[in-house]
């Protein structure tokens, strides 16, 4: 025979399980969003590193030309 306390305990457990399920779903969604953001940022970083390298090369070339002009 189920007592009122058992029913209350079961109802409380159900509420807690539902809360945990919602928490897991929320965390899964946040995790997916963060992974997506990480991918975008990694791509952006690679692009910025490439642009920085190109700029460095152009500056080095300009310095070399200036030194060549100075040596004349």
Delimit the domains of the chain by residue range: 1-72
As a whole number of angstroms, the distance between CA 8 and CA 51 comes to: 64
pTM of the model: 0.67
Query: What pLDDT tens digit does each residue of the chain (72 aa) get?
Result: 678 898 899 999 999 999 999 999 999 999 999 999 999 999 999 999 999 999 999 999 999 999 999 988
Question: Residue 8's pLDDT is what?
Answer: 92
- At 2, phi and psi to the nearest 5? -90, 130
What is the DSSP-derived secondary structure letter of residue 3? -
């Amino acid at each position: 025979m189920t007592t009122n306390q058992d029913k209350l305990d079961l109802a409380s457990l159900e509420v807690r399980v539902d809360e945990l399920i919602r928490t897991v779903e929320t965390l899964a969604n946040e995790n997916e969003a963060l992974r997506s953001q990480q991918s975008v940022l990694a791509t952006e970083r690679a692009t910025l590193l490439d642009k920085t390298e190109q700029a460095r090369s152009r500056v080095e070339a300009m310095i070399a030309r200036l030194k060549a002009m100075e040596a004349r």
